[in-house]
Amino acid sequence: MSRLLGWTATSRYAAVLLLVVGIVAYFSASEQGRFLSTANIENLFSSVSILWIVSVGMTFVVLTGGIDLSVGAVLALSGLILSKLFNGVGVPSLLAVVLTIVVGALLGGGINGLLIGRARLSFFVVTLGTASLYQGIVSIWSQTKTTYISSSLIDGIGFGSALGVATPIWIMLAVFLVGFCVLRWTYFGRDVYAVGGNIDAARLSGINTTATLVAAYAIVGACAALAGVVQAGRLGASSPIVGTDIPLSAAAAVLLGGTSFVGGVGGVTGTVVGVLFIGTLQNGLAINGVSSFWQQVVTGAILIVAVGIDRIQQDPRAMRFRRRATSKETNNE
């Protein structure tokens, strides 16, 4: 018990993991077996696969001290590119998927990464601008119409299974394992943490900070494109309105998972805990008949709480100081 309490006190995502367990217990008891049914569990994991994939990529960017607000637009644009490669050009299915992911990486690293890493522009301004740019391209190119995709490969990505497990679940697990290994055991992962910890010190130590930032934004762009492929598979079409809530949900998941908003601290393990928290809560609310609009309210509130938790974890001594100051002011009054 003491070890559990010690881990809870030191781990940046332990409290969120305990909340996930509590939410599962609550909905399991209140929904009389519907929540823990095999069909619902598979639906839960399949539905969070898109957020999971994007959030793992977002972790790399947040670890560098930035954020990418364009991931939702990249997701929508990737689905559209995929449909155009199928329907317009007639590119083979596998090649079309690979090209779509490559384009996503180029949009992330070639535009966002270079503007932020080399031109030293604000990540917030750059990614907010490219989000509007990409979304505008999607609206113009698609004429705000849904384009259907007919491909056995894409259908398999969306609704196929292997060893009794849905394909989207296999994809999101693979993305997590790759992200975990890259951050834990590669020099690039070390550089990502160093850039987020102190970019000037990282530069003086010989790290190519520009290349690291470009690669980080390329990774989140590729993940957003892969999520767009999975989304297209689940819908059987590319839609210009998908992905609008992905940037905030991914940011909330990353922050809930203990990755610091100022960079240098965190990892993908905590991120997937944050994703499971959001996904489990939304799934339980949906079973209870709560509308999607209220689910958006809940997600926004979670993001605010996550930022607050991150602030407290960054400087717990400052929080204690404020409490003492407030107490003294109250006593003086």
User: Could you tell me the CATH number of the domain that includes residue 94?
Assistant: 1.10.3470
Alpha-carbon distance of 15 to 315, in angstroms, equals 18
Which pLDDT belongs to residue 252? 87
pLDDT confidence bin for 1, thresholds 50/70/90? very low
Residue 188 lies in a domain: yes
Report yes or no on 266 lying in a domain: yes
Whether residue 324 is contained in a domain is answered as no
Q: Which domain holds residue 172?
A: 13-312
Give the model's confidence band at 237: pLDDT under 50 very low, under 70 low, under 90 confident, else very high: confident
**Does residue 6 form part of some domain?**
no
Q: Is the pLDDT of residue 321 over 50?
A: no
The answer to whether 320 touches 327, Cβ cutoff 8 Å, is no
Question: Three-state DSSP class for 148?
Answer: strand
Rg over CA atoms, the chain = 21
41: in domain: yes
Answer whether 0.85 is exceeded by the pTM: yes
Q: Is residue 67 part of a domain?
A: yes
| Nearest alpha-carbon partner for 51 in 295, 260, 227 | 227
Proportion of the chain above pLDDT 90, given as a percent: 46
> Are residues 217 and 108 in contact, defined by beta-carbon separation less than 8 angstroms?
yes
Instruction: Report how far apart, in Å, the C-alpha atoms of 7 and of each of 11, 15, 18, 136, 155 are.
Output: 6, 10, 11, 46, 42
285 class by beta-carbon count within 10 Å (0-12 exposed, 13-18 middle, 19+ buried): middle
Give the pLDDT confidence score for residue 250 in this predicted structure.
Answer: 92
The 10s digit of each residue's pLDDT in 39-78 is 888 888 988 999 999 999 999 999 999 999 999 999 999 9
256 pLDDT higher than 80: yes
- Distances in Å between the Cα of 296 and the Cα atoms of 4, 268, 278 are 33, 24, 11
Q: Pick the residue with more confidence: 321 or 240?
A: 240
Residue with the two structure tokens 């960079």:
263
If one counts the domains in the chain, the total is 1
Helices 246-256/38-63 angle, 10° precision: 80
pLDDT tens per residue across span 118-176: 989 999 999 999 999 999 999 998 888 888 887 888 888 888 888 888 999 999 999 99
| CA-based nearest residue to 227, from 168, 186, 282, 286 | 168
Q: Tell me the average pLDDT of the chain.
A: 84
Is the pLDDT assigned to residue 295 strictly greater than 60?
yes
In a domain, 3, yes or no: no
- Assess if residue 247 is contained within a domain: yes
Per-residue pLDDT, averaged over 300-310, amounts to 72
pLDDT digits (tens, 9 = 90+) for 2-16: 454 444 444 677 778
